[in-house]
């Protein structure tokens, strides 16, 4: 049976239910994909719980990252054919056995990148690619603070930043997660559930602060992320797993003449040249030993609600995927 996991309104994970899919055909510029694996991301949580705008359809299919085989190609699509194994990231529509999608977001997978691997890196790995190359160009000698270091994005970032020659400081919740981050590129890892990370960052940087802070935790960390950053340094706010940080005032940046950016992946992958160049860079990084991907949780597609509960319960590390 062809099916999707959808929700009719925002809420807890219980709003997600199975819906049957009928025959599907791609329109011009689209392809039909039979999924082999699907990624789970915190973005899916923000959409499901209503933090991000709820799309208008009654049955809304969540999920923003997937990989599989092309089963049909619409008019005007070039460079993709029936039988190609492909991956993509695009907001919504991925929790399904099959989907049609704008071909502009789809890339062919090399033979040595499995569908499970692709479903765990198209969103998370391309996010790391833009964070460390575009939002701030990290170079050898930079000191970097990266929160939620043991998470899906965090484990990729630690390894890639280390390979660039940066000194990488991570934060994570609990001793096990700290040890995992340490084994994935981070030079120093602070348990921010038991230690004041700002004081520890200042100690590690001789009171100067880091060159760049990447904060996807939001409410619990953002105020101290600013003051853990060196004067004239950069803060990249790219998520809010602990809730939105609502206390920010532009004048807060005057505490250190900071630069602040709030980027989103879809403004990068929407540019075809960027998507192709950075997918190639990412596929090389995950196959040449620069970045090892840890797929630490797998759930059947129909059990996606359990995957959501694991992610919101801080019970996951590395990447989580759904199998079809």
Q: For ligand NAP, give the closer residue by CB, 51 or 69.
A: 51
Is residue 41 within the footprint of ligand NAP (CB under 6 A)? yes
Q: For ligand NAP, give the closer residue by CB, 262 or 272.
A: 262
**Which residues lie across from 298 on neighbouring strands?**
321
Is residue 47 within the footprint of ligand NAP (CB under 6 A)? no
**Which residues lie across from 237 on neighbouring strands?**
215
**Of 75-83, 99-107, 123-131, 245-253, which segment contacts ligand NAP by CB under 6 A?**
123-131
Residues numbered 193-252 forming contacts with ligand NAP, rule: CB under 6 A: 216-217, 220, 238-239, 241-242
**Of 49-57, 98-106, 143-151, 246-254, which segment contacts ligand NAP by CB under 6 A?**
143-151
Q: For ligand NAP, give the closer residue by CB, 73 or 320.
A: 320
Q: Cα–Cα distance between 143 and 232 in angstroms, integer?
A: 14
> Which two three-digit tokens encode residue 54?
């709820």
Q: Cα–Cα distance between 168 and 156 in angstroms, integer?
A: 12
Q: List C-alpha distances in Å: 114 to 36, 71, 293, 295.
A: 10, 18, 12, 12
Antiparallel, parallel or unpaired: β 60-61 and 3-7: antiparallel
Is residue 296 within the footprint of ligand NAP (CB under 6 A)? no
Q: For ligand NAP, give the closer residue by CB, 97 or 241.
A: 241
**Which residues lie across from 18 on neighbouring strands?**
5
> Which two three-digit tokens encode residue 221?
């960390």
Is residue 121 within the footprint of ligand NAP (CB under 6 A)? no
Q: For ligand NAP, give the closer residue by CB, 153 or 222.
A: 153
Residue nearest to ligand NAP (CB): 151
Residues numbered 57-96 forming contacts with ligand NAP, rule: CB under 6 A: none
- The answer to whether the CB of 102 falls within 8 A of the CB of 77 is no
- The answer to whether the CB of 152 falls within 8 A of the CB of 120 is yes
- The answer to whether the CB of 128 falls within 8 A of the CB of 153 is yes
Tell me if residue 315 falls in helix, strand or coil: coil
Residue of the chain from 26, 152, 185, 209 that contacts ligand NAP (CB under 6 A): 152
**Of 52-60, 77-85, 172-180, 225-233, which segment contacts ligand NAP by CB under 6 A?**
172-180
Other residues' Cβ atoms within 10 Å of the Cβ of residue 56: 6
Give the nearest distance from C-beta 266 to ligand NAP in angstroms. Answer: 7
Q: Cα–Cα distance between 5 and 35 in angstroms, integer?
A: 13
**Given the rule CB under 6 A, which residues bind ligand NAP?**
41-43, 123-124, 127, 148, 150-154, 172-173, 177, 216-217, 220, 238-239, 241-242, 263-265, 311-312, 314, 316
């Amino acid at each position: 049976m062809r099916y999707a996991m959808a929700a009719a309104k925002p809420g807890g994970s219980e709003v997600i239910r199975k819906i049957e899919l009928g025959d599907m055909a791609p329109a011009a510029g689209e392809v039909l994909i039979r999924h082999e694996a699907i990624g789970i991301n915190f973005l899916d949580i923000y959409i499901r719980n209503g933090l991000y705008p709820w799309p208008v359809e009654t049955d809304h299919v969540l999920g923003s990252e997937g990989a599989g085989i092309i089963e049909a190609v619409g008019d005007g699509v070039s460079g993709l054919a029936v039988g190609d194994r492909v991956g993509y990231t695009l907001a919504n529509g991925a929790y399904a056995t099959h989907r049609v999608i704008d071909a502009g977001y789809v890339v062919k997978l090399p033979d040595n990148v499995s569908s499970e691997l692709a479903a765990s890196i198209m969103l998370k790995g391309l996010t790391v690619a833009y964070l460390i190359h575009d939002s701030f160009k990290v170079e050898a000698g930079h000191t970097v603070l990266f929160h939620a270091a043991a998470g899906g994005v965090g484990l990729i970032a630690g390894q890639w930043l280390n390979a660039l020659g940066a000194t990488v400081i991570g934060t994570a919740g609990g001793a096990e997660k700290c040890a995992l981050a340490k084994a994935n590129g981070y030079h120093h890892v602070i348990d921010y559930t038991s230690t004041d990370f700002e004081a520890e960052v200042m100690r590690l940087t001789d009171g100067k602060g880091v060159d760049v802070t990447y904060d996807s935790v939001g409410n619990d960390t953002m105020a101290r992320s600013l003051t853990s950053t060196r004067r004239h340094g950069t803060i990249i706010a790219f998520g809010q797993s602990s809730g939105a940080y609502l206390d920010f005032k532009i004048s807060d940046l005057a505490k250190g003449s900071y630069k602040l950016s709030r980027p989103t992946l879809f403004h990068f992958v929407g540019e075809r040249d960027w998507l192709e160049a950075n997918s190639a860079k990412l596929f090389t990084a995950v196959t040449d030993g620069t970045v090892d991907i840890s797929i630490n949780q797998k759930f059947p597609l129909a059990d996606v609600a359990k995957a959501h509960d694991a992610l919101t319960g801080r019970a996951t590390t590395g990447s989580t995927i759904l199998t079809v």
